[in-house]
Amino acid sequence: MSKRKVLQGNIIAAKAALAAGCNFFAGYPITPSSEIAQFMSRELPKLGYDFIQMEDEIASLGACIGASLAGSKVMTATSGPGFSLMQEHLGMGVMAEIPLVIVNVMRGGPSTGLPTKPSQADMMQTRWGTHGDHPIIALYPAFADEIYTETIRAFNLSEKFWTPVVLMMDEVQAKAHEDIEIPEAKDISVYESEVNVPVDLNIYDREIGEKPPRVDFFKGYPIHVDSLEHDAHGWPTIEPNTVHKMQTLRMQKIYHYLDEIIEYKEYEMDDAEVMIFSFGVSARASIPAIQMLREEGLKVGLFQALTIWPFPKRELQERFKRIKKVLTVEMNMGQMKYEVERVAPDDVDDRALLRANGIPLTPQEIYNAVKEFYK
Partner 1 sequence: MRDYEKYIRYRTFPSPWCPGCGIGIILKAIAMSFTALKIAPDDIVVVSGIGCSGRMPTFFNTNTLHVTHGRALTFATGIKLARPEKTVVVISGDGDAMAIGGNHLIHSARRNIGIKMILVNNGIYGMTGGQCSPLTPQKFITETTPYGNIEPKFMASELLIAARASFVARETVNRPRPLREVIKKSFEHKGFSVVEVISNCHINLGRKNKMKDPITMCKWIAGRTVTRAQYDKLAPGDRNHKYPVGILQEDNERLEYTELYNKYIIPSAQEAARKNGGAK
Contacts with partner 1, residue ranges (CB under 8 A): 15, 24, 26, 42-48, 50, 52, 54-56, 58-72, 74, 88-89, 92, 217-228, 235-236
**Whose Cβ is closer to partner 1: residue 226's or residue 273's?**
226
Distance (Å, rounded) from C-alpha 101 to C-alpha 110?
Answer: 23
Closest CB to partner 1 among residues 15, 250: 15
- CA-CA distance, 10 to 170, in Å (whole number)? 10
Which of 140, 124, 138, 135 lies closest to 97, judged by CA? 135
Q: Report the nearest approach of partner 1 to the CB of residue 29 (Å).
A: 15
Q: For partner 1, which is the closer residue by CB, 90 or 105? A: 90
At 141, the amino acid letter reads P
Give me the DSSP letters along 234-287.
S-B---HHHHHHHHHHHHHHHHTTHHHH--EEEES-TT-SEEEEE-HHHHHHHH
219 or 314, CB closer to partner 1?
A: 219
Which residue, 83 or 277, is less far from partner 1 as judged by CB? 83
User: Tell me, what DSSP letter sits at residue 194?
Assistant: P
Q: φ and ψ at 86, to 5 degrees?
A: -75, -10
Q: How far is the CB of 304 from partner 1 (least distance, A)?
A: 30
The distance of closest approach from Cβ of residue 308 to partner 1 in the complex, given in angstroms and rounded to an integer, is 26
Angle between helices 9-19 and 144-161 (to 10 degrees): 40
List the beta bridge partners of residue 351.
Answer: 327
Q: How far is the CB of 38 from partner 1 (least distance, A)?
A: 13
Query: By C-beta, is 88 or 341 nearer to partner 1?
Result: 88
CB 230 within 8 A of CB 236: yes
CA trace torsion 313, 314, 315, 318 (10° rounding): 120
Nearer to partner 1, 223 or 283 (CB): 223
| Rounded Cα gap, residues 190 and 170, in angstroms | 25
Question: Helix (H, G, I), strand (E, B), or coil: what is residue 345?
Answer: coil
